[in-house]
Amino acid sequence: MQSGSTRKPNRLISEKSPYLLQHAYNPVDWYPWSPEAFKKAADEDKPVFLSIGYSTCHWCHVMENESFEDAEVARLLNDAFVCIKVDREERPDLDSIYMKVCQQLIGSGGWPLHIIMTPDKKPFFAATYIPRESRFGQTGMKELIPKVKELWTSRRNILLESAVEVTESLRQIEKSSNGASAEELGASTLDEAYIQLSQSFDENNGGFGNAPKFPSPHNLTFLLRYWKRTSDPKALEMVRRTLEAMEQGGIYDQLGFGFHRYSTDAKWLVPHFEKMLYDQAMLAMAYTEAYEATRDENLKQIAREIITYVLRDMTDSGGGFYSAEDADTEGEEGKFYTWTEEEIRLQLSADEADLAIEIFGVEKEGNFSDPMSGKRTGKNILCLNKSPAQIALEMRIFLPDIQNRLDQVRNKLFGVRQKRVHPRRDDKILVDWNGLMIAALSKASQVFDEPEYAIAAKKAVDFILKNMGDSQNRLYHRYRDGEAKVTGFLTDYAFFIWGLVELYETVFDAEYLEQAGELTEILMKHFWDEQRGGFYLTPDDAEFTLVRDREIYDGALPSGNSVACLNLIRLAHMAGDIQYEQKAAQLIRSFANDVSRAPSGCTQLMSALDFAVGPSCEVILVGDPDKADTKRMMEVLRSRFVPRKVVLLHSSLAQRRGTRFLDAFAQGLTSEGGKATAYVCCNRVCNPPTTDPDKMMELIGQ
């Protein structure tokens, strides 16, 4: 795409979304989603062509270059439709609804997503990628557009009947699904989720199912909790095998760190190369918790490397975190990340090159094939063909020496790669994805005793509260270039609350806990479904769409309802507020019918259910956080994987602030003999206080 003076911008030029701006010089007369666009459609009696994608989507780029930059296709689109572009990351509500339409009409979905609808937003056609010309039995844009125009002109009743049927079907599905169940979900549901994951586990390569393979870190964090509950060794082995296979594969950036979005093959070798903030956050949490459970230093190293990547490449100067990095550079997917053997030998000494070629699985003809031709490309995706330990054994060299040599090789190749044309970065800041990263940083700060991570988390929280909230403490969804826009969604509140709770348990600043409580009250006021329970994706004062959507199944991201459920349970334990626990129970019950059919599709909710079923504990520490005895208590508490607990710190500073969360437990709690003292309550039974860290862990059941 060229944006020189010879190109006339369309209406997207005034938008802030990097994805919309990518299309601002298309000859297509794009509108953003707006009343103006639909009014124009009604006034001109035209259907609407809706195109949904995101800035780092490879096939979105392909379709732009092939069709939306093509003068003839643009002429046809402008003549037949009012055309609207939507960034799915800015408007997940629209994406969710119209993706359901696509799945209903064609049985599958994905991006780019294309919907043709009436001026009153009722859809009658759906597709994902559409080629410019028809090929291999798939109708192309040049044939499709005239056909739809002809139907709209001469046989509109057919399209209108279809639109009514699709819309009504969508509404009926929403009304009938997720009904309350007479049966309660419980420990047996956790067992069923585990069995389903076990059945789909890839014993050879790790992960679940066949290609394409997504990281799905919420599956792994649930399995860690199931292992903790049952001591089933297979649950832990599935986690370790998957995490190790992913970090050794091409899905992991072996030089610059961080994970690509997913693997196109079963062995984690060939990724789609875009990098998403939410993947980094969720995977950092999974590696951190796995280290907490196993004390495997390699897992710790990967968690720290992921965070290194985010803090280095994805962090705004104001403290917020950017959304994504593109898969493509110079029109080629993965060009930034791949290497020929010749390139490696040119940049390294002979010994270094031999080591790099051996350990990274580099082949002269390349280690992957072009998907269209099936031929080797000569390029290599760097992966750990063998572990450093295997290389050390084969070469009869001490492992630390191999690690040092490998680090030198990585640093040199990384330096060379930095001089290449970099992938485009989507620098918008989203509250929900930032909430996940805040939670990940906070968790890692606790487990690794790394204060810098907590500082980064605090800066991100401060950025959001300063720039992305209104006078009523309501959240906006997106910030970019000085503008906060789009009314906050369920995920914005749920994920940010998650981050605030984790940050409180890291630094014990009661203001974060109070903020989490205030946002939870807003969530319950504006998002709660009074008829069925659970939360809607959009607030009660948001723009009206075809349906007011609710979600419980996890995709690449955990569902907002699942995260909100765990938040409610944790806050209930922290505040002693039965209302929060009742809401969590209602939420679980409202989705029970759907969840019971496929609990492995709701593993984030399973983590919430695991906490709800218990046994769970509240630990209230009374002491000075700057003194050695309190620090020692905290160190011991954080040395074990204990997911079903909440931790509160009661100190003179917290007492002066007077928070309702601390007040629920702290009344009358004092230190024993001036020492740091732990008050442990498990399963709603409180034990005598102790100043002994080992006794504290015994009371928790460790």
Measured distance CA(194)–CA(192) in Å, rounded: 5
In a domain, 182, yes or no: no
Model confidence pLDDT, tens digit, residues 129-179 = 999 998 887 889 999 999 999 999 988 888 888 888 888 887 776 666 555
Model confidence pLDDT, tens digit, residues 593-637 = 989 999 999 999 999 999 999 999 999 999 998 899 999 999 999
Range of the domain at 545: 188-331+426-613
**Whether residue 121 sits in one domain with residue 39:** yes
Average pLDDT on 515-527 reads 96
**Whether residue 50 sits in one domain with residue 125:** yes
Q: Please say if the pLDDT value at position 496 is more than 90.
A: yes
pLDDT band at 1 (very low <50, low <70, confident <90, very high): very low
In a domain, 1, yes or no: no
3-state SS, residue 546 = coil
**Whether residue 345 sits in one domain with residue 318:** no
Measured distance CA(591)–CA(532) in Å, rounded: 9
581: CATH? 1.50.10.10
Model confidence pLDDT, tens digit, residues 269-303 = 999 999 999 999 999 999 999 999 999 999 999 99
Measured distance CA(572)–CA(575) in Å, rounded: 5
Model confidence pLDDT, tens digit, residues 361-420 = 999 999 988 776 778 889 999 999 877 788 888 888 888 888 898 899 999 999 999 999
**Whether residue 645 sits in one domain with residue 662:** yes
Predicted local distance difference test score (pLDDT) of residue 612 = 95
**Which of 588, 613, 638 is a domain's end point?**
613
Ramachandran region of residue 586, left (φ > 0), alpha (ψ -120 to 50) or beta? alpha
In a domain, 603, yes or no: yes
Q: Please say if the pLDDT value at position 181 is more than 60.
A: no
**Which of 145, 176, 207 is a domain's end point?**
176
**Whether residue 510 sits in one domain with residue 446:** yes
Q: Are strands 324-325 and 677-682 parallel, antiparallel or unpaired?
A: unpaired
Sign of CA dihedral 176, 181, 186, 190: negative
**Whether residue 146 sits in one domain with residue 15:** yes
Q: What percent of the chain has pLDDT over 90?
A: 74
Measured distance CA(681)–CA(685) in Å, rounded: 5
106: CATH? 3.40.30.10
Average pLDDT on 307-315 reads 98
- Write b or e for each residue in 64-97: b if 16 or more Cβ atoms lie within 10 A of its Cβ, otherwise e: bebbbbbeebbebbbebbbbbbbbbbbbbbbbbb
When the pLDDT of each residue in the chain is averaged and rounded to a whole number, the result is 91
Element (H or E) spanning 426, and its range?
A: strand 425-426
**Which of 419, 449, 477 is a domain's end point?**
419
**Whether residue 672 sits in one domain with residue 634:** yes
- The structural domain count of the chain equals 4
Average pLDDT on 92-118 reads 89
Q: Are strands 617-622 and 645-650 parallel, antiparallel or unpaired?
A: parallel
**Whether residue 560 sits in one domain with residue 518:** yes
Residue 337: beta bridge partners? none
In a domain, 183, yes or no: no
Measured distance CA(694)–CA(637) in Å, rounded: 9
In a domain, 2, yes or no: no
Tokens of 16: 């802030």
Distances (CA, A) of 362 to 87, 353, 367: 37, 10, 7
In a domain, 5, yes or no: no
**Whether residue 197 sits in one domain with residue 96:** no
For 668, residues 6+ apart whose C-beta sits below 8 A from its C-beta are: none
Predicted local distance difference test score (pLDDT) of residue 659 = 62
Measured from the Cβ of residue 569, the count of other Cβ atoms closer than 10 Å reads 27
Model confidence pLDDT, tens digit, residues 9-57 = 999 999 999 999 999 999 999 999 999 999 999 999 999 999 999 998 8
397: CATH? 1.10.10
**Whether residue 84 sits in one domain with residue 26:** yes
**Whether residue 516 sits in one domain with residue 490:** yes
Average pLDDT on 209-236 reads 96
In a domain, 284, yes or no: yes
Q: How many residues are there in the chain?
A: 702
CA angle 324, 328, 333 (to 5 degrees): 125
Ramachandran region of residue 220, left (φ > 0), alpha (ψ -120 to 50) or beta? alpha
For 495, residues 6+ apart whose C-beta sits below 8 A from its C-beta are: 431, 432, 433, 434, 435, 436, 439, 560, 563
**Whether residue 533 sits in one domain with residue 399:** no
CA angle 55, 58, 61 (to 5 degrees): 70
Measured distance CA(564)–CA(535) in Å, rounded: 8
In a domain, 6, yes or no: no
